[in-house]
Chain A
Amino acid sequence: MSTAAITEHRDPFGAKFGMWLFLFTEMILFGGIFLLYAVYRSTFAADFHFAAGTLNRLIGGLNTLILLTSSLTMVLSIATLERGRRRASGWFLLATIVLGLAFLVIKGFEWTAKIHHGIFPGSEEVLDHTAGENIFYGLYYAMTGLHALHVIVGLAILAIMWVGLVRAPRRRRRLPIPPGGGATLSSPGGQTLWSQPPGDDAEAIEIALVYADDAADREARAVKLENAGLYWHLVDVIWIFLFPLLYLVS
């Protein structure tokens, strides 16, 4: 009789390290377009100066405050979860999501206003402006657009986290059974939880365990939430740099 242990490969540090590696790729992705910005700014300093002045500093500042606060609610969501306060954690996570949506809505208004004034990629209006201003607006749309895309992805991730957070903890495993073989499910202490006599032609058993909150499960959720938080904070950090470069260089 062969026994298969359900060995769950748990490596919280490895998961965190993997997320940091992914964040490096995001930093370099944005780094490429920041490089373009830097080069064009050195070429068209005066034009950038002027064009940046047409952006609304207060709205940009408001968006900055929104994202900074969403980072706060994010860490509070993680901190409360680590202290066992799952419901509070859920509320803070929801607040993060709402703030992120607010950011997108305000951005949407900003873009709409600009488009109404005829300032959008490829418009006639922009062609009338100087080359430097055209580049500035092109970069403005590309950089904030790429950032907004990442905000949307971040919100999707946070939404999935929220669903996983508020649901009762459960684990699901699918184990194949050798043909013609039987299967017995035992607890680590040796107690038989379930068994199937040999001869049945089932191919696999699927085990779904629903159980109460425990430290191991809390830690597993905290790890996932922390990693999601790392992504969200990076989105915030990128905006922290975008804001002065686009709105405050005049």
Chain B
Amino acid sequence: MGVEADFYHTPGRPGILGWIFSTDHKRIGLLYLFTMLAFFAVAVGIGLLMRLELIAPGQTVISPTIYNSLFTLHGVIMIFLFVIPGIPAIFGNFMLPLQIGARDVSFPRINLLSWWCFVIGALIAITSLFTGGGPPDTGWTFYVPYSIRTSTNVTLAVFGAFILGFSSILTGLNFVSTIHRLRAPGMKWFRMPLFVWSIYATAWIQILATPVLGITLLLVMLERMFNLGLFDPARGGDPLLYQHLFWIYSHPAVYIMILPAMGVVSEIIPTFSRKTIFGYKAIAFSSLTIAFVGYLVWGHHMYTSGMSDTARWLFSFLTFLVAIPSGVKVFNWVATMYKGSIQFSAPLLFTFTFVFLFSIGGLTGLMQSALAVNIHVHDTYFIVGHFHYVMFGGTAFGLFAAILYWFPKMFGRSYRMKPVWIAWALLFAGFNLLYFPMLVLGWMGMPRRYYDYVPRFHTPHLISTIGSWILVAGLIVFVVHMIRSARRGPPVGANPWGGTTLEWSVPSPPPHENFETIPRVTTGPYDFERASET
């Protein structure tokens, strides 16, 4: 008997202990998937409640103070517990070692620590709901001076976010080290899959940007506990400096969110075009460029806060630049498909949807980087629409595409197209009904984070709320079908899609040590000509 059991059946500690104390990158990836799904569900529920309140002017179901806490929580959970960990935590962990021909990451125990920091940070943040002055009502951005003065439980929530930062940093550190040190023999830098390049760029942002969030949150805690006065104008402090420190992290953070999703797209398109990627180096370098330029643009969140004119035009100019590498990717993806042999599939469907929705989001972002436009739309629903198009339409749909693509590899089973189509239809219709009216509302002048509104904003809000119900129906269909298929779907072989990257060369699901023997790599990652010869 030489058949090794898959990684679900590795001998070791029994039951759940074997999972929550496992250093196997595949188990850790799945742990992230399960915990993130739970947090996502909570945040979606909060969003539904918010939309329910906004279905009509005046108080509908909740009070104004609760509404403030709700949008704070919705943001904190979605951003820190779902979108930022997102694809790197799940698929970076699961697929990175497989794609580079390694048995695990550089520091498996630190990897486990990352997940524990994630869970503990989340629990601390959740505790802030039920203790002290109640859940924070500052918005996820925790702007001073309100975050210093409010009696709600900002300190605890912020401490939770601080711990979550550690999770992100340790993951990034692990991935950079892994990519430098553990590539299989023959896997030169320019033979790595583009998903790995995107994870590499993302990991650097995690390392170099997250500590700024760390010091920012630490200072908020110190201010609340010891009254240093560093952000208090009455004592010489400058509240704008808080915004600088906050966005110095939080802008690069959005590239942590989107780069891996783009990496997933760069995997899916060649596979389902049966053609090597067009412009491999351009896409690889565009990931690094986005990561770098992403550090230069944070001021575009602060045009109306009181910065100097010099800063404002400088940041505006730099922000226009950051759109260029994203454009390079989209052109190269399209060029890849040209004269390819397109196989329509669930991953490809969601990939096209990603490109469509992300483009809308990206273009609305470009509009905002213009100073003249921004003065009018800042802090309106236009911004809310924009970032949901990029974060949800972009990152989350990229995550769905990744789930659909790598599902057979992770679970050794397949799913059916029909429920996926139904889910997609509900998701697509619901998403656009929910978020497009927001772009209209913002343009008409409706401010964000407002609990109430004047009657002329009613119709778009009504459409938006109905959209939220359709969207959630789609989410439920999707998640339920994925869970059922993972448990009872028909078993599937090592390479159902005909992919050429290394993860498709191992059994589905992979064994504990990934490869029986570490492969020796001799070609680029998307060599479909050679694949069709064998």
Contacts and interface: CB of A to CB of B under 8 A. Distances in A.
A36 B241 contact: yes
B236 A24 contact: no
Interface string A32-61: 110110011001100000000000000000
Given A14-B106, A18-B107, A39 B241 contact: yes
B228 A121 contact: yes
Contact of A26 (B104, B211, B219): B211
B228 A25 contact: no
B340 interface: no
Given A17-B177, A122-B226, 7 more contacts: A2-B4, A14-B177, A14-B182, A35-B245, A130-B236, A138-B237, A141-B228
Contacts of A24: 207-208
A207 interface: no
Contact of B210 (A25, A33, A122): A25
Interface string A129-148: 01110110011011000100
A25 B207 contact: yes
B102 to A, nearest CB: 10
A142 B181 contact: no
B296 interface: no
B177 A142 contact: no
A29 interface: yes
A206 interface: no
Contacts of A122: 226-229
23 contacts: A2-B1, A11-B181, A14-B106, A17-B177, A17-B180, A18-B174, A21-B177, A25-B169, A29-B214, A31-B211, A32-B216, A32-B248, A33-B219, A36-B245, A40-B236, A40-B238, A44-B236, A121-B229, A130-B236, A134-B229, A135-B236, A142-B228, A142-B230
B11 A146 contact: no
A138 B177 contact: no
A178 interface: yes
A24 to B, nearest CB: 6
A28 B455 CA distance: 48
Contact of A28 (B173, B180, B212, B218): B212
B27 to A, nearest CB: 15
A21 B216 contact: no
A17 B230 contact: no
What is the interface residue range for chain A against chain B?
A: 35 or more
Instruction: Say whether chain B's binding surface is mostly helix, strand, loop, or mixed.
Output: helix
B181 A14 contact: yes
Interface in B215-244: 215-216, 218-219, 222, 226-230, 235-238, 241
Contacts of A138: 228-230, 235, 237
A21 B211 contact: no
Nearest to B213: A32
A136 to B, nearest CB: 9
Contacts of A21: 173, 176-177, 207
A118 interface: no
A211 B426 CA distance: 65
A142 B216 CA distance: 12
Contact of A36 (B4, B181, B230, B235): B230
Contacts of A62: none
Contacts of B215: 29-30, 32-33
A127 B235 contact: yes
B15 interface: no
B176 to A, nearest CB: 6
Given A18-B177, A21-B173, A135-B237, A121 B226 contact: yes
Contacts of A178: 11
A135 B212 contact: no
Interface string B427-458: 00000000000000000000000000000000
Nearest to A130: B236
B1 A32 contact: no
What 9 pairs across the A-B complex have the smallest Cβ distances? A131-B236, A122-B227, A32-B215, A138-B228, A176-B11, A29-B211, A28-B211, A121-B226, A14-B181
B12 interface: yes
Interface in A127-181: 127, 130-132, 134-135, 138-139, 141-142, 146, 176-178
Nearest to A181: B11
A22 interface: yes
A122 B238 CA distance: 17
Contacts of B222: 121, 142
A241 interface: no
Contacts of B177: 14, 17-18, 21
Interface in A219-241: none
Contacts of B207: 21, 24-25
Nearest to A21: B173
Given A44-B236, A127-B235, A134-B235, A22 B173 contact: yes
Contacts of A11: 106, 181
Interface string A77-97: 000000000000000000000
A25 B245 CA distance: 15
Interface in B11-65: 11-12
A194 interface: no
B148 to A, nearest CB: 12
A116 B304 CA distance: 43
Nearest to A35: B245
A45 B11 CA distance: 65
A146 B245 contact: no
A174 B229 CA distance: 53
Q: Which residue of A14, A30, A130, A132 has the most chain B CB atoms within 10 A of its CB atom?
A: A14
Contacts of A17: 177, 180-181
A33 to B, nearest CB: 6
Contacts of B236: 40, 44, 130-132, 134-135
